[in-house]
Amino acid sequence: MLIAADKFKGSLTAVQVAERVTAGLHRVAPGTTVEALPVADGGDGTVAAAVAGGFKRREVRVTGPLGNEVTAAYALKDGTAVVEMAEASGLQLLPEGVFAPLTSTTYGSGELIRAALDAGARTIVFGVGGSATTDGGAGMLAALGARFLDADGEPVAPGGGPLKDLATADLSGLDPRLKDVEIVLASDVDNPLTGPKGAPAVYGPQKGADPADVATLDAALAHYATVLEKSIGPKAAEYAQSPGAGAAGGIGYGALVGLGAGFRPGIEVMLDVLGFAPALERATLVITGEGSLDEQTLHGKAPAGVAAAARAAGVEVVAVCGRLALAPEVLGKAGIRRAYALTDVEPDVARCIAEAGPILETVAEGIARDFLA
């Protein structure tokens, strides 16, 4: 049995999900061989999944989204670094109820990448998601040596809003080591930078942006791309429309235009990095999952990626989740034979969240009875 599940956000980490499922399976079938491979799709929890997969955790002090110093981690193994932007610039770093949609910065994400370079990384998997920011990656690029100046030749203030004052962009000072490193932009979204499906319109409200803020940010990021086009040529405009440019408040755009990153679906990248293929060869059943199996799951989330890879290898897949919002036929098309939800055991959602661990063990007992007994 191979457990390759993501976190249950707000309840259990991916590692804890694997531990609880293992405990439930062994209650019914104690002799079963169970292998755990916690996964992530590039968003928050990506570094933790890498560490569980054998990477070494490295901590550094960096600039948080509000400009204060925070501790962030990345993971390193054999010259490959897994950098999670949410560690430095994520929503979880904001005080409860506090948002800064116009002024939050990705500067710390750039510092995290620089730390990975200092540690000798030759490949950087840059997982983006869960951001508190909408600055198009300008802060990240500034931390790596880019200069963004207003009409008076002064650095523009942090955040996406102040980019409306951008007059010149100079990327010539970017860390030269970036040219010799492969950077993979790992994301589960394919939005462009601006427009109706762009970063401000789609994700700005999650970061506290009201309609006026969304309009300000969209115009500022469009201006940012225009100024960059004057600096580095037409590829700046092309990248603004590329899949993944709008990821994590536009940090995807910054990675594409400034770091030379290549875009890949986050779960595909992480499955490669974590060694999913050889683990899959040893498995007769895969258990995947996440907190909510819904329409978003089908668009690049971890369970869909795991199921697709397992189906291609001819291995059956079931899923665990807190809440199930997909019909059986939809699950089947995604390669998931059956889903087991915590709410099947405990209808009270609040209790499912508070007592997710024990309930998940009970759910896993059901899987063992259905597939192992």
188 pLDDT more than 90: no
> Rounded CA gap, 219 and 211, in Å?
12
Count of Cβ atoms closer than 10 Å to residue 119 Cβ: 14
What pLDDT score was predicted for residue 270? 94
The mean per-residue pLDDT over the stretch 364-370 comes to 97
Instruction: Provide the 3-class DSSP secondary structure of residue 305.
Output: helix
Residues 6+ apart with CB under 8 A from 309: 271, 276, 277, 280
pLDDT tens digits for range 154-169? 999 999 999 999 999 9
What pLDDT score was predicted for residue 273? 93
In 3D, which of 312, 319, 318 has the Cα closest to residue 291? 319
pTM value > 0.85: yes
CATH of span 46-267: 3.90.1510.10
The mean per-residue pLDDT over the stretch 254-271 comes to 94
> Rounded CA gap, 176 and 38, in Å?
34
Rounded (5°) CA angle 307-43-342: 55
Asked: is 2-37+283-371 a CATH 3.20.20.140 domain? The reply is no
Instruction: Provide the 3-class DSSP secondary structure of residue 315.
Output: coil
The mean per-residue pLDDT over the stretch 137-150 comes to 98
What pLDDT score was predicted for residue 229? 97
Residue 179 near residue 258 (C-beta atoms within 8 A): no
What pLDDT score was predicted for residue 296? 87
pLDDT tens digits for range 91-113? 999 999 999 999 999 999 999 99
42: left (phi over 0), alpha (psi -120 to 50) or beta: left
What pLDDT score was predicted for residue 373? 75
Q: How confident is the model at residue 54 (pLDDT cuts 50, 70, 90)?
A: very high
What pLDDT score was predicted for residue 2? 98
> Rounded CA gap, 227 and 232, in Å?
9
The mean per-residue pLDDT over the stretch 41-57 comes to 93
* H or E segment and range at residue 287: strand 285-293
* H or E segment and range at residue 185: strand 182-187
Mean pLDDT of the chain: 96
Alpha-carbon distances, residue 119 vs 73, 93, 116, 123, 127 (angstroms): 13, 24, 5, 11, 18
What pLDDT score was predicted for residue 344? 95
Structure tokens at 299: 């668009």
Q: How confident is the model at residue 299 (pLDDT cuts 50, 70, 90)?
A: confident
DSSP H helical segments within 233-284, as ranges? 235-240, 247-258, 266-274, 276-281
Alpha-carbon distances, residue 151 vs 73, 104, 148, 166 (angstroms): 36, 22, 10, 7
**What is the distance, to the nearest Å, from the Cα of residue 145 to the centroid of all Cα atoms in its chain?**
24
178 pLDDT more than 80: yes
The mean per-residue pLDDT over the stretch 221-236 comes to 97
Instruction: Provide the 3-class DSSP secondary structure of residue 81.
Output: strand
Residues 6+ apart with CB under 8 A from 30: none
Domain extents for the chain? Answer: 2-37+283-371, 46-267
The mean per-residue pLDDT over the stretch 263-278 comes to 94
The mean per-residue pLDDT over the stretch 304-325 comes to 96
Instruction: Provide the 3-class DSSP secondary structure of residue 345.
Output: helix
